[in-house]
Amino acid sequence: MQDNGRIILPLSYYNKQQGRNIIKRIKNRFLMLPRDFRLFLAATFVFGFSQSIVDSTFNNFLNETFFISDWQRGFLELPRELPGFLVVFFAALFFFLCSRRLAFLANLLCAFGILLIGFASPGFSVMLVWLFIFSVGQHLFIPLNQSIGMELAHEGQKGRRLGQFSAVANLAMILGSFCIFMGFKFFNLTFQISYIFAFLGFLTVSVLLYLMTKDEPYSARTKFQLRKEYKLFYWLNILYGTRKQIFLTFAPWVLVTVFRQKTQVLATLLAAGGLIGIFFKPMLGKAIDKLGERFILTAEAVVLVFVCIGYGFAREVFTETAALIIACVCYIVDQLMMSVGMARATYLQKIAVKPEDVTQTLTMGVSIDHIFSIAVALLGGVIWVKWGYQYVFLMGALIAVLNFFSALQVKTRERIT
């Protein structure tokens, strides 16, 4: 169009141009970041996407493929969580690998583990073998993810940096969960095809981590050390492991078997938690740096008491619809509270006697907490069958109370560099 000799472009042109400018600015900012930071940021995004595919589908995959009982669902946590206990031994076995190369190997195990789960599981027992391999990769990567993230942060900004990485992972989780929702609802997506995408994702993460600059490996001897200076950290990890297991095992199982929800619902809840987490996790990271680990950990414990009560007893008090809504809200809040693991990591980093203790102690913490998380999974399955799922979450509430009083003992000192 023309107005007095001037060319008037349509509004849609300006909107498109503005969108291009925003994308260009984001791209330029990304390219200005250090190379290793960019690679790890990309790896974090792809890992979050791949993990969300597994999280969104796995409980329904179990229920619809193998028709397992509540007791079997609890027993399944033994092969799934046993690698968490063994992770310190696996880390020592690969002592000749630096943390970034070990992270590369961990994601390779995730990739081939999930592929075999989807395509080479003629029976429940065989599937457990592939689940063990997948879980080894997952649990090896858990402490490495945090330690590498803190290595890429400036002093005094560890929590902020971990929060940023978690927000990126959350954005990816939203995308992954949304793809699962749309795929299962409108495009006849199958579990097998979903796991092909997860396989390709974990494989991509491996490549990105391999491209990062190698760091120096620590000696095998240091990987088995327990230090009295970190006893509170170990104890907090034990409490976290028991609470985490109730969320990972029994919370989605309540939604799938008690409330009869489909794959799309679990995917939607994960996406909702991921969307909130984009804003919540960076704020949490900043809060850790500003308010301290003790405040954050005690606040988490208080929230979890109410979450567990909501899971377990909403159906006893409210209508079926209201109880389902409460359970879904609890699921999202519980998902967000998993991010408080950042506070335990930064607490350890602040009290570490030596810098090399951080990765080793995070790994040892994973092993220790899984001794108890395995026990809780088996015990929870028995409690569910004998007395009902409500008492599993009552146990979770009691653990949260114990966690509250334990977190009050946290004291930190800033490391002098």
The CA distance from 364 to 227, in Å, is: 10
Q: Model pTM?
A: 0.70
pLDDT computed for residue 192 by the predictor: 94
pLDDT computed for residue 222 by the predictor: 47
Residue 83 lies in a domain: yes
375 three-state secondary structure? helix
195-206 per-residue burial string, b: 16 or more CB within 10 A, e: under 16: bebbbebbbbbb
Picking from 159, 213, 198, 285, the residue whose alpha carbon sits closest to that of residue 39 is 213
Q: By residue range, what is the domain housing residue 361?
A: 35-407
293-317 and 263-291 are packed helices; what angle lies between their axes, rounded to 10 degrees?
A: 150
Residue 9 lies in a domain: no
pLDDT in 10s for each residue of the chain, 417 residues: 555 555 555 655 555 666 566 666 666 676 677 888 899 999 999 999 999 999 889 888 988 888 777 667 767 777 877 887 787 788 778 877 888 899 999 999 999 999 999 999 998 889 999 999 999 999 889 888 878 888 887 766 777 787 888 888 888 988 988 898 899 888 889 999 999 999 999 999 999 999 998 876 655 444 556 778 888 988 998 888 888 878 777 888 888 888 888 877 877 887 788 788 878 888 888 898 889 899 999 999 999 999 999 988 888 888 889 989 999 999 999 888 888 888 888 888 888 888 777 777 887 877 787 778 778 878 888 888 888 888 989 998 999 999 999 999 988 755 433
Residue 160 lies in a domain: yes
Q: How far is CA 369 from the centre of its chain?
A: 15
CATH code, domain carrying 210: 1.20.1250.20
Residue 340 lies in a domain: yes
Find the angle CA(331)-CA(234)-CA(344) to the nearest 5 degrees: 55
Residue 325 lies in a domain: yes
pLDDT in tens, 6-54: 555 565 555 566 656 666 666 667 667 788 889 999 999 999 999 999 9
pLDDT computed for residue 119 by the predictor: 95
pLDDT computed for residue 398 by the predictor: 93
Find the angle CA(17)-CA(20)-CA(22) to the nearest 5 degrees: 110
Pull the structure tokens for residue 122.
């003629």
The CA distance from 261 to 181, in Å, is: 13
Q: Using alpha carbons only, how large is the chain's radius of gyration in Å?
A: 22
Place of tokens 């925003």: 22
Helices vs. strands in the chain: H and E counts, helices first: 16, 2
Range list of H helices, 187-262: 191-210, 231-245, 251-253
Q: In the chain, how many domains are there?
A: 1
pLDDT computed for residue 221 by the predictor: 46
Torsion-angle region of 189 (φ positive above 0: left; ψ -120 to 50: alpha; else: beta): beta
Residue 333 lies in a domain: yes
Residue 174 lies in a domain: yes
Residue 6 lies in a domain: no
pLDDT computed for residue 223 by the predictor: 52
